[in-house]
């Protein structure tokens, strides 16, 4: 069970990394994620069920996610709609797109091939194909992000989130950076959705509900556990956070909690993690005051 | 030929009620290359509006801005950034807090240029950055790998100034860049400012509220009042001006 959970944690880590690109680097929350995650799964599963090879179907899912992100970016920067509202609008609209693509609220993969089947021929214990797929996807993405952030364009992207006024005064087209960020991050989120759907064996239009909480939990758990990190380490902390979050959820299910309450448990875990840094500061201050 | 020409530059915005508010009223100005001009005025005189218009973060209601032979009145902020740079009053505005000092300087090296997917080696640049930071004299050169947000106000503002002059701009706008600093840091930064302007032969417009600085630095003095340019003193008239005269003139415009 642990191996399977680690594999799932790696696939969900892609979601965390996608959200990290906007929430932590560009410094705004993007609600589109709740639409692009199931969209990636829907496009991918529909394509596979139409005979498209899994790799190409996954790429199609990513492309659909990028398009959705681009729409949010354009609504936000050109349409001057606040980013949260732009994300909610696109997320809401994507529900219809998903139903249009799948022609039903959910679609099963049945016996169609999946991306992890590429590793099934290898002499591996059960669920290791999933772990290899997860490691490969996360490895490629983290490497790409790390290299991107070291380029002139990547540095301009970081600067946009860090101090937009300064970035603009240096001639950086911050609107373009936001559109780029929303497009890429939603592509990554859709990739996560496509891989998770293949692992689950089906795509579901309602799969996106609460995914932002899961993505944020991965980021926050990583940040609570590790401090003073370099950018590469921060990316890896998201991956560790995602695996730990999935392990925690598995533990909760294993302990016999009713899965009906899974979302509220997830939200509570995230709320506690978000409060931890402040609680820690308060405790340290109280201790110091006591010493004086 | 003038380096900067402002031709009847005007900015009008909607007021709190139904009326309109004139922030800048038909300002005409001509700056020659190498001019170091100080700008004085009370709050609401139009100093920041003037800078926002010249830097492209605001569009004028009417009038023209011609810089280095190019009409930039309707140009994008990015197009403005190719020609000029600006240091803000608030040290927090001029730097990226989570990026290191070296990364901030690297960003500034590409001011106004297209940012491509080209990887940049910061290591190769460190000796050059160290040399530039050592000019400041406040230990900035030892903090190249420190996030800008962890610097003191004086160091951060010095970094902003170094960033603004990393690639010599056609025009340097200093927007009360010493106002938020303590007297020692302020004096240090003004010295550095004068040094950089002289070394790079920069054309500079500097807003200040410090009368002493307005008299000590620069070779021309402008006084703004209610959005209008009411006084333009050349080098000789500025030299002859005493602090008491400037103060009384300043008080009279309040």
The reply to whether residue A170 touches residue B111, judged by beta carbons under 8 angstroms, is: yes
The pLDDT confidence band at residue A138, using thresholds 50, 70 and 90, is: very high
The pLDDT confidence band at residue A270, using thresholds 50, 70 and 90, is: confident
Angle, CA B44 vertex, CA B41 and CA B49 arms, to 5°? 90
> Which region among A89-93, A103-107, A250-254, B115-119 has the lowest average model confidence (pLDDT)?
A250-254
A242 part of a folded domain: no
The answer, yes or no, to whether residue B17 has pLDDT greater than 80, is: no
Q: What is the pLDDT of residue B66?
A: 96
Residue-wise pLDDT for A72-101, tens only, equals 999 999 999 999 999 999 999 999 999 999
The reply to whether residue A159 touches residue B77, judged by beta carbons under 8 angstroms, is: no
- What is the SS3 assignment for B91-148? HHHCCCCCCEHHHHHHHHHCCCCCCCCCECCHHHHHHHHHHHHHCCCCCHHHHCCCEH
Prediction pTM value: 0.90
Smallest Cα–Cα separation from A44: which of A133, A118, A115? A115
A214 part of a folded domain: no
A233 part of a folded domain: no
Domain interval for residue A13: 2-206
CA distance A145 to chain B (A): 12
d(CA B114, CA B112): 7
Mean pLDDT of B98-122: 92
The pLDDT confidence band at residue B18, using thresholds 50, 70 and 90, is: low
| Average pLDDT, rounded, for chain B | 91
**Residue pairs between chains A and B whose CB atoms are closer than 8 Å:** 87
Residue-wise pLDDT for A152-210, tens only, equals 999 999 999 999 999 999 999 999 999 999 999 999 999 999 999 999 999 999 999 98
The reply to whether residue A169 touches residue B85, judged by beta carbons under 8 angstroms, is: yes
The pLDDT confidence band at residue A280, using thresholds 50, 70 and 90, is: confident
What percent of chain A clears pLDDT 70, i.e. is strictly above it? 99
The answer, yes or no, to whether residue B253 has pLDDT greater than 70, is: no
The pLDDT confidence band at residue B191, using thresholds 50, 70 and 90, is: very high
Q: What is the pLDDT of residue B43?
A: 83
Is A2 part of the contact surface with chain B (CB cutoff 8 Å)?
no
Evaluate the CA torsion angle A221, A227, A231, A232 in order and state its sign. Answer: negative
Q: What is the pLDDT of residue B176?
A: 92
Cβ(B227)–Cβ(B195) under 8 Å?
no
CA distance B237 to chain A (A): 34
The pLDDT confidence band at residue A24, using thresholds 50, 70 and 90, is: very high
A287 part of a folded domain: no
Q: What is the pLDDT of residue B108?
A: 95
The pLDDT confidence band at residue B247, using thresholds 50, 70 and 90, is: confident
Determine the length of chain B: 254
A288 part of a folded domain: no
Cβ(A146)–Cβ(A11) under 8 Å?
no
The answer, yes or no, to whether residue B52 has pLDDT greater than 90, is: yes
CA distance B103 to chain A (A): 8
Q: Which of B103, B107, B117 lies nearest to residue A170, judging by beta carbons?
A: B107
Number of domains within chain A? 1
Q: What is the pLDDT of residue B86?
A: 95
* Chain A residues touching residue B99 (CB < 8 angstroms): 155, 158-159, 162
CA distance B57 to chain A (A): 8
Q: What is the pLDDT of residue A44?
A: 98
Cβ(A21)–Cβ(A180) under 8 Å?
no
Q: Which chain B residue has the Cα nearest residue A173?
A: B78
Mean pLDDT of A9-35: 96
d(CA A13, CA A201): 19
Q: What does the DSSP 8-state code read for residue B164?
A: H
A105 part of a folded domain: yes
- What is the SS3 assignment for chain A? CHHHHHHHHHHHHHHHHHHHHHHHHHCCCCCCHHHHHHHHHHHHHHHHHCCCCHHHHHHHHHHHHHHHHHHHHHHHHCCCCCHHHHHHHHHHHHHHHHHHHHCCCEEECCCCCCHHHHHCCCCCCCCHHHHHHHHHHHHHHHHHHHHHHCEHHHHHHHHHHHCHHHHHHCCCCHHHHHHHHHHHHHHHHHHHHHHHHHHHCEEEHHHHCCHHHHHHHHHHHHHHHCCCCCHHHHHHHHHHHHHHHHHHHHHHHHCCCCHHHHHHHHHHHHHHHHHHHHHHHHHHHHHHHHHC
Is A251 part of the contact surface with chain B (CB cutoff 8 Å)?
no
Q: What is the pLDDT of residue B254?
A: 59
Q: Which of B81, B92, B119 lies nearest to residue A171, judging by beta carbons?
A: B81
The reply to whether residue B113 touches residue A151, judged by beta carbons under 8 angstroms, is: no
Q: What is the pLDDT of residue B16?
A: 66
The reply to whether residue B120 touches residue A155, judged by beta carbons under 8 angstroms, is: yes
Mean pLDDT of A226-245: 92
Is A153 part of the contact surface with chain B (CB cutoff 8 Å)?
yes
A73 part of a folded domain: yes
Evaluate the CA torsion angle A113, A116, A122, A123 in order and state its sign. Answer: negative
d(CA B133, CA B141): 5
Mean pLDDT of B107-131: 91
Cβ(B242)–Cβ(B63) under 8 Å?
no
CA distance B108 to chain A (A): 6
Q: Which of B92, B95, B99 lies nearest to residue A158, judging by beta carbons?
A: B99
Interface of B with A (CB under 8 A): 55, 57, 76-82, 85-86, 88, 92-99, 103, 106-108, 110-113, 115-120, 163
A257 part of a folded domain: no
> Which region among A93-102, A139-148, B11-20 has the lowest average model confidence (pLDDT)?
B11-20
Residue-wise pLDDT for B212-233, tens only, equals 888 889 899 999 988 999 889 8
* Chain A residues touching residue B86 (CB < 8 angstroms): 169
Q: What does the DSSP 8-state code read for residue B89?
A: S
């Amino acid at each position: 069970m642990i191996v399977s959970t680690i594999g799932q944690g790696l696939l969900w880590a892609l979601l965390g990394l996608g959200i990290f690109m906007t929430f932590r680097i560009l410094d705004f929350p993007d609600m589109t994620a709740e639409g692009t995650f199931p969209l990636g799964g829907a496009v991918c599963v529909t394509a596979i069920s139409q005979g498209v090879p899994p790799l190409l179907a996954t790429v199609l899912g990513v492309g659909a996610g990028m398009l959705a992100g681009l729409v949010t970016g354009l609504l936000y920067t050109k349409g001057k709609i606040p980013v949260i509202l732009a994300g909610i609008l696109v997320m809401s609209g994507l529900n219809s797109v998903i139903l249009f693509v799948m022609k039903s609220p959910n679609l099963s993969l049945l016996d169609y091939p999946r991306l992890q089947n590429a590793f099934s021929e290898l002499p591996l214990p059960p669920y290791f194909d999933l772990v290899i797929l997860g490691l490969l996807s996360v490895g490629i993405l983290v490497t790409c992000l790390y290299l991107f952030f070291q380029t002139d364009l990547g540095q301009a992207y970081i600067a946009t989130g860090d101090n937009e006024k300064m970035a603009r005064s240096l001639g950086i087209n911050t609107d373009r950076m936001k559109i780029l960020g929303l497009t890429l991050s939603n592509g990554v989120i859709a990739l996560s959705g496509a891989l998770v759907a293949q692992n689950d064996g089906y795509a579901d239009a309602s799969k996106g509900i609460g995914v932002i909480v899961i993505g944020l939990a991965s980021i926050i758990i990583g940040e609570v556990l590790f401090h003073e990190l370099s950018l590469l380490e921060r990316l890896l902390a998201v991956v560790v956070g995602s695996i730990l979050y999935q392990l925690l959820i598995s533990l909760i299910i294993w302990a016999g909690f009713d899965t009906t309450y899974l979302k509220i448990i997830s939200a509570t875990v995230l709320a506690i993690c978000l409060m931890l840094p402040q609680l820690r500061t308060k405790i340290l201050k109280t201790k110091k005051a006591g010493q004086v | 030929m003038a380096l900067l020409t402002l031709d009847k530059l005007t900015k009008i915005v909607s007021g709190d009620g139904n009326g309109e508010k004139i922030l800048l009223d038909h300002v005409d100005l001509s700056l020659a290359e190498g001019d170091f001009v100080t700008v004085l005025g009370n709050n609401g005189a139009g100093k920041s509006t003037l800078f926002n218009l010249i830097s492209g973060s605001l569009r004028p209601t009417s009038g023209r801005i011609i810089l280095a032979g190019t009409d930039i009145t309707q140009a994008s902020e990015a197009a403005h950034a190719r020609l000029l740079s600006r240091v803000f009053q608030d040290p927090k505005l001029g730097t990226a807090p989570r990026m290191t000092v070296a990364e901030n300087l690297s960003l500034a090296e590409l001011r106004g240029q297209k940012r491509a997917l080209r990887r940049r080696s910061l290591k190769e640049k460190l000796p050059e950055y160290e040399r530039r930071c050592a000019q400041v004299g406040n230990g900035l050169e030892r903090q190249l790998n420190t996030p800008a947000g962890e610097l003191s106000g004086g160091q951060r503002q010095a970094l902003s100034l170094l960033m603004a002059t990393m690639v010599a701009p056609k025009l340097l706008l200093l927007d009360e860049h010493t106002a938020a600093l303590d007297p020692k840091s302020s004096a240090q930064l003004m010295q550095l400012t004068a040094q950089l302007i002289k070394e790079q032969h920069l054309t500079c417009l500097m807003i200040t509220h410090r009368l002493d600085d307005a008299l000590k630095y620069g070779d021309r003095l402008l006084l703004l009042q209610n959005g209008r340019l009411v006084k333009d003193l050349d080098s000789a008239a500025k030299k002859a001006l005493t602090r008491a005269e400037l103060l009384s003139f300043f008080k009279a415009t309040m």
